């Protein structure tokens, strides 16, 4: 079966719908979401509703999701993220809040697992280095382990040919990688709603649980439309502008 893998949507409905459309056209029949459904963007309720409608769905909570329902301290955020989190908290409908409150920290399925940041510290740790990957390997119960949080398309794997025994790469649009059980793969599909690698297209992926491969996709979407909605509700201008630059 093919799974659409999405993460860090951040209340960006246009980017989410474009990603779902592309992944569905590629054959996705199930959905994996690594958290940070809300925060930063202008449509938290619509995005929660859309994610909740995806079936079958494996989804975990991100630090922004926890913050807006009062399960994590917003003082942990920078000023802009904090302003957006407080606006989101005040804008959430009851069904959206209940949906976010019920999200688990990790989800371990038969052929993959999902956390937001890292296996050892799901809501907080940014997995960015090979050392961190090695320190987290004991928590990788199933390969691939999908993560989000850094908004970067990191793929960490075991590599017997490397002197360090591991490999780290940033996946590019259209790149396919082997994520079989022995590879001990930790894969980040990048961010749907706020990419930070200087490519302003939405980032997402397709996981084939038979072939055990993962393929990355970059998807253009109507950025100007999201920016207009953000300005209409007076979200911080820096958050509006960064969508244009993908950073
Ligand atoms: Zn995020």
Quote the ligand 1 centre to 39 CA distance (angstroms): 8
Tell me, what's the pLDDT at 75?
83
Per the structure block, which two tokens stand in for 162?
A: 């490397």
Quote the ligand 1 centre to 160 CA distance (angstroms): 32
**CA-CA distance, 192 to 115, in Å (whole number)?**
16
Per the structure block, which two tokens stand in for 55?
A: 């079936």
* Predicted confidence pLDDT, tens digits, the chain (247 residues): 999 999 999 999 999 999 999 999 999 999 999 999 999 999 999 999 999 999 999 999 999 999 999 999 888 889 999 999 999 999 999 999 999 999 999 999 999 999 999 999 999 999 999 999 999 999 999 999 999 999 999 999 999 999 889 999 999 999 999 999 999 999 999 999 999 999 999 999 999 999 999 999 999 999 999 999 999 999 999 999 999 999 9
Contact partners, residue 207, CB within 8 Å, separation at least 6: 2, 3, 5, 32, 112, 144, 146, 179, 213, 214
- Starting from the edge strand earliest in sequence, which strands make up the sheet with 145-146, in order? 106-108, 113-115, 145-146, 186-187, 154-158, 166-170
Nearby residues for ligand 1 (ion, Cβ within 5 Å): 8, 36
The residues facing 6 across adjacent strands are 33
- What domain range includes position 116? 2-245
Tell me, what's the pLDDT at 76?
80
Quote the ligand 1 centre to 163 CA distance (angstroms): 32
Q: Which secondary structure element, helix H or strand E, spans residue 158, and what is its range?
A: strand 154-158
When divided into structural domains, the chain yields a total of 1
Tell me, what's the pLDDT at 215?
98
CA distances from 194 to 37, 39, 110, 167 (A): 11, 10, 30, 26
Q: Are 44 and 65 in contact (CB under 8 A)?
A: no
Quote the ligand 1 centre to 9 CA distance (angstroms): 7
- Phi/psi zone of residue 143: left (φ > 0), alpha (ψ -120 to 50 degrees), beta? beta
Quote the ligand 1 centre to 193 CA distance (angstroms): 9
Burial class, 141, CB count within 10 angstroms (exposed 0-12 / middle 13-18 / buried 19+): exposed
CB burial of 203-239 (b: ≥16 within 10 Å; e: otherwise) equals bbbbbbbeebebbbbbbebebeebbebbeeeebbeeb
CA distances from 94 to 87, 90, 99, 100 (A): 15, 11, 9, 10
CATH number at residue 90: 3.60.21.10
Tell me, what's the pLDDT at 164?
86
Quote the ligand 1 centre to 149 CA distance (angstroms): 5
State the SS3 of 188-215.
CCCCCCCCCCCCCCEEEEEEECCCCEEE
Note the pTM of the prediction, 2 decimals. 0.97
């Amino acid at each position: 079966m093919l799974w659409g893998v999405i993460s860090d949507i951040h209340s960006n409905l246009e980017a989410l719908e474009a990603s779902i459309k592309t992944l569905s056209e590629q054959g996705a029949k199930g959905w994996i979401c690594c958290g940070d459904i809300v925060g930063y963007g202008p449509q938290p309720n619509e995005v929660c509703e859309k994610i909740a409608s995806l079936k079958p769905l494996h989804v975990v909570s991100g630090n922004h999701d926890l913050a807006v329902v009062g399960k994590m301290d917003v003082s942990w955020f920078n000023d802009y993220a904090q302003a957006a989190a407080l606006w989101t908290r005040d804008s959430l409908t009851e069904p959206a809040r209940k949906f976010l409150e019920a999200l688990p920290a990790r989800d371990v399925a038969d052929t993959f697992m999902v956390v937001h940041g890292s296996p050892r510290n799901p809501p907080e740790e940014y997995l960015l280095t090979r050392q961190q990957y090695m320190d987290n390997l004991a928590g990788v119960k199933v390969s691939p382990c999908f993560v989000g949080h850094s908004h970067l398309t990191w793929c960490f794997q075991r590599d017997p040919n490397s002197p360090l025994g591991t490999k780290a790469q940033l996946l590019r649009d259209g790149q396919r990688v082997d994520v079989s059980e022995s590879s001990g793969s930790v894969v980040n599909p990048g961010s749907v709603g706020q990419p930070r690698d200087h490519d302003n297209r939405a980032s997402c992926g397709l996981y084939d649980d038979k072939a055990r491969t993962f393929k990355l996709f970059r998807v253009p979407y109507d950025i100007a439309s999201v920016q207009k909605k953000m300005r209409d509700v007076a979200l911080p201008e820096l958050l509006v502008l960064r969508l244009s630059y993908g950073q």
